[in-house]
Each structure stands twice: as C-alpha cells, then as structure tokens.
C-alpha cells in the first residue's frame, strides 16, 4: 500500500513517475525505464537553502535510497540558478538557535549526499555559488549549462568555509588549483570549470544535462552495486571520518561566528547589495 504522503502522478509520458512526498520544495521523479531518480530543487527564485529546503532535500535523498533507484540526479526547477547557497535572509537578525539549526541541516544534507552509496550526478542548469557548489561537488559527476558561474566564493565574502565544506571541491580539483580558487573565492565560468575539471561535461540544455548525467549513472549498469558503493565510500571515508569528529564543534563555531556583530554587518550589507542589484 502506498504511504499516504506518496502521491503517484504521471509525469513525462508513461515511463516516469513523479513521486511527490510530503515535502514541497523538492520533487522526485523516477524514470521507469532507467530506474534513475531526478531530484529537483524548487524554491523560487534561486533555491536559496533555508531550513525547509535542507530538510526536504534530506527527505528526498532517503526516499530515493529507499525506493531502490539506480542513481540520483540533482537539478533545479529554475531556468538560471541551480542553487544560490544558504538563504542569507534566514541567517540575518536571527537567534543563535536558528543559526545552529541552519548549519546542522546543511551538514545533514551534505553528509546524506556525499555519503550515499548510490551513483550521484548534478545537472547544473544555472549558477551554483557557495552552498550550490557544495551540493554539486558532493555528487560524483557534474554536467553544466554554458555561461553560468560555479565556485566557493566564501573568501570573497570575508568568511572561511570549514574543511568538510571544501572537501568535495578538493576531491575533484588538483590541490594547487583548489587552493588558489578557495583562497581567491573564485567563481568559475562554465567553460573555466570544465577546463579545470570542476565540471565533467557541458550541455546546451537542462534536458541534455540530465541525459548526460543519466548516461554517467548508466555506465555502472554492469558493475555490482555493492562493490561500487563500498569502493566509492572508501574514497570518501577519510573526509567523512574527519567531519564526524568535528561536526558538533563545527555547529557551535558557525553559530558563534554567524551571530557575531561583524559577520551580521557583512550579511546586512550583502543583502542590501543583492536587493539593490534587483532594482538596477
Ligand atoms: C554574506 C554571507 C554570509 C554568510 C554567513 C556565514 C557565516 C560564516 C560561516 C562560514 C561558512 C560559510 C558558508 C557559506 C555557505 C553559503 O552558501 S553562504 C550564501 C552565499 N551565496 C551567495 O553569495 C549567492 C548570492 N546570490 C547571487 O550571487 C545571485 O543571486 C545569483 C547568481 C545566485 C542569481 O542571480 P540572479 O539570477 O541575477 O538573481 P538575483 O536578482 O541576484 O536574486 C534574485 C532574488 O534572490 C535573492 N537571493 C539571491 N541569493 C540569495 C541567498 N543566498 N539567500 C537569500 N536570498 C537570495 C535576491 O536577494 C533576490 O531577491 P529579490 O528578488 O530582490 O527579493
């Protein structure tokens, strides 16, 4: 019997199912032919990651793991943004408890995505700064549409990202390139990201990006899934262990830093600039 929260809706033709969970800011669509699930973030306008989106992402990742999908493709419902990273509005002028929750849920999403044994790929159909880049680099493969930006821009904002947040990024780039990009807070264009190895392929449309991600996941069709998954996790084990050791202290450090008057001031100015940009 279907769980009451699980509505099965016919999505594209008869070969895919849109499995809408109780969540509202993400959808999961499973292709019946390939068995691959597409997880779409849908929090207009820019998929900024508030607590609700972070919780919905976790619920969708577990749903995909539990429904025995063959792989997970992460993408966005919006035409020019994959995800704008953490919702800065939610971190501004708030209490320490809320900041602790924001950071804990960001950690939870990252570990769920980075640590899943399923094959994962990101169809990056728009800009992916900061937390957007974090999600993309937690996946095993990235396909991006042209003329967008991706990167960890924290240094540009005068803030220091913890090591776990950089670890997907440092996994995919040569150490020297990663160090320079992180110290510069560099945002890569799609072409630059492709040349550096931050993204694996470029696709001219979202559909093509999803197809290329599906082809990557399909490349494991003849590999034993248990062997594949355990091999993947061996590669990621050191980063995961290191993260587990510091995760609680990391929440406390983030809450202390983000609530400090200096960082709150930076956020206020940053938000003003974002709002004014919209008026220009
Ligand atoms: C200053 C940040 C402080 C963070 C404090 C942390 C404390 C220290 C901890 C150390 C760890 C740091 C880890 C951080 C992880 C993060 O993810 S921080 C978030 C960083 N994100 C960004 O810098 C992205 C900002 N946004 C953009 O660059 C652009 O919006 C875009 C390229 C994504 C899209 O551009 P465009 O399509 O032109 O849309 P806009 O007109 O700019 O925006 C539309 C709309 O969305 C609002 N918005 C954009 N980004 C965010 C966001 N991250 N949070 C909340 N809201 C956002 C923007 O204000 C517009 O709103 P209005 O339409 O004007 O109402």
Q: Give the total number of structural domains in the chain.
A: 1
Cα–Cα distance, 171 to 98 (Å, whole number):
31
Confidence of residue 6 (pLDDT cuts 50, 70, 90): very low
At residue 14, the pLDDT reads 42
**Distance in Å, CA 197 to ligand 1 centroid:** 25
How far, in Å, is the centroid of ligand 1 from the Cα of 51? 15
Q: pLDDT tens digit string along 94-115?
A: 999 999 999 999 999 999 999 9
Strand 128-129: give its sheet, edge to edge: 128-129, 149-151, 188-189
Contacts of 97 (CB under 8 A, 6+ apart): none
Pairing of strands 36-41, 26-31: antiparallel
pLDDT in tens, 222-265: 999 999 999 999 999 999 999 999 999 999 999 999 999 999 99
86 is catalytic: yes
- Structural domain including 18 reads 4-279
Q: 131 in ligand 1 pocket by Cβ < 6 Å? A: yes
- pLDDT class of 12 with cuts at 50, 70, 90: very low
For residue 24, the model assigns a pLDDT of 87
The DSSP secondary structure of 181-209, one letter per residue, reads HHHHTPPEEHHHHHHHTSSSEE-SSHHHH
Determine if ligand 1 sits within 6 Å of the CB of residue 146: no
Q: Which class for 87: exposed (0-12), middle (13-18), buried (19 or more C-beta within 10 A)?
A: buried
CA distance 236 to 255: 27
| Ligand 1 proximity of 235 Cβ (cutoff 6 Å) | no
Catalytic site includes residue 262: no
Active site residue 151: no
The single residue listed with the structure tokens 């979202």 is: 206
Q: Is the CB of 30 under 6 A from ligand 1?
A: no
The reported pTM is 0.93
User: 46-95 pLDDT, tens per residue?
Assistant: 999 999 999 999 999 999 999 989 999 999 999 999 999 999 999 999 99
Tell me the per-residue pLDDT of 160-198, one tens digit each, with 9 for 90 and over. 899 999 999 999 999 999 999 999 999 999 999 999 999
131 is an active site residue: yes
Instruction: Return d(Cα 182, Cα 180) in angstroms, integer.
Output: 6
CATH of the domain at 154: 3.90.226.10
């Amino acid at each position: 019997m279907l769980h009451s929260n699980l509505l099965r809706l016919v999505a594209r033709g008869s070969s895919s199912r849109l499995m809408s969970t109780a969540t509202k800011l993400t959808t999961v669509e499973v292709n019946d032919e390939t068995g691959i699930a597409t997880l779409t973030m849908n929090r207009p306008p820019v998929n900024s990651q508030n607590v609700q989106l972070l919780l919905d992402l976790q619920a969708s990742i577990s749903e995909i793991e539990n429904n025995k999908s063959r792989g997970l493709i992460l993408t966005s419902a919006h035409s020019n943004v994959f995800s704008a990273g953490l919702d800065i509005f939610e971190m501004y002028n708030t209490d320490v408890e809320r900041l602790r929750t924001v950071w804990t849920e960001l950690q939870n999403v990252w570990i769920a995505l980075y640590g899943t044994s399923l094959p994962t790929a990101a169809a990056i159909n728009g800009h992916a700064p900061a937390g957007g880049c974090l999600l993309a680099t937690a996946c095993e493969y990235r396909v991006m549409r042209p003329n967008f930006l991706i990167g960890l821009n924290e240094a540009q904002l005068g803030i220091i990202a913890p090591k776990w947040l950089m670890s997907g990024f440092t996994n995919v780039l040569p150490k020297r390139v990663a160090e320079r990009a992180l110290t510069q807070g560099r945002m890569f264009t799609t072409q630059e990201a492709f040349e550096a190895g931050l993204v694996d392929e470029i696709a001219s449309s979202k559909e093509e990006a999803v197809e290329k991600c599906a082809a990557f996941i399909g490349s494991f069709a003849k590999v034993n899934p248990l062997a594949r998954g355990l091999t993947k996790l061996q590669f990621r084990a050191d980063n995961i262990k290191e993260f587990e050791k510091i995760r609680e202290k990391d929440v406390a450090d983030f809450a202390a830093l983000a609530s400090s008057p200096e960082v709150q001031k930076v956020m206020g100015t940053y938000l003003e600039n974002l709002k004014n940009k919209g008026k220009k």
